[in-house]
Amino acid sequence: MLAAVMVVEGVLRIPGTEGHYDTGWGLFQALAKNSRLHLLSHIWTEQEIALWLTKRHITGHQSYLHTPEPGPVGRLEALQRIRSQRIGALVIESDPACAAAELAAGWSTALVTSALQGPKQPAAVSAIRPWDDLSQAVERQHDLRLTPHAPEQP
């Protein structure tokens, strides 16, 4: 049976919030049914993650790994504890730097990203136009298409 280690922050839980990613929740459910799933976090203790999971009725993981240090060093230290139990696992990761370190250390890694985590758009591109402006622009283009054009006069 496949063993998997899912990083909580950025895969299952939206960092800095109490919320979760729907895709991460679906991935958790699928892995919990079909693998030995372990969770890993550097932010919450075992009691805190247990409460968060219980509130959402998320069950089925094998164990929880806490690492006090964020980043690749902390992840690799926690993964070494899994490896010492002779468990080879797929790591579901949200941090590209951590994924690179895990690959270099011999772990199979799946990098999961979310549009909510992606790079910020430049201010000029991310400015939202009011709906009325968009509606007026569409109407104007429609009117221009329907307006007969007179031949140009010299």
Domain region containing 13: 3-111
What's this model's pTM, rounded to 2 decimal places?
Answer: 0.69
Q: Which tokens go with 40?
A: 């890993």
Percent of the chain with pLDDT over 90: 13
Residue 45 domain flag: yes
CB atoms within 10 A of CB 31: 21
Residue 135 domain flag: no
Give how many domains the chain has, as a whole number: 1
Residue 28 domain flag: yes
Cα–Cα distance between 142 and 154 in angstroms, integer? 28
User: What is the phi/psi pair of residue 89, to 5°?
Assistant: -140, 155
Q: Contact, 102 vs 93, CB < 8 A?
A: yes
pLDDT tier, 91 (very low <50, low <70, confident <90, very high otherwise): very high
54 vs 153, more confident: 54
pLDDT digit string, tens, across residues 18-68: 888 888 888 988 888 888 889 898 888 888 888 888 887 777 787 888 887
Residue 92's pLDDT is what? 93
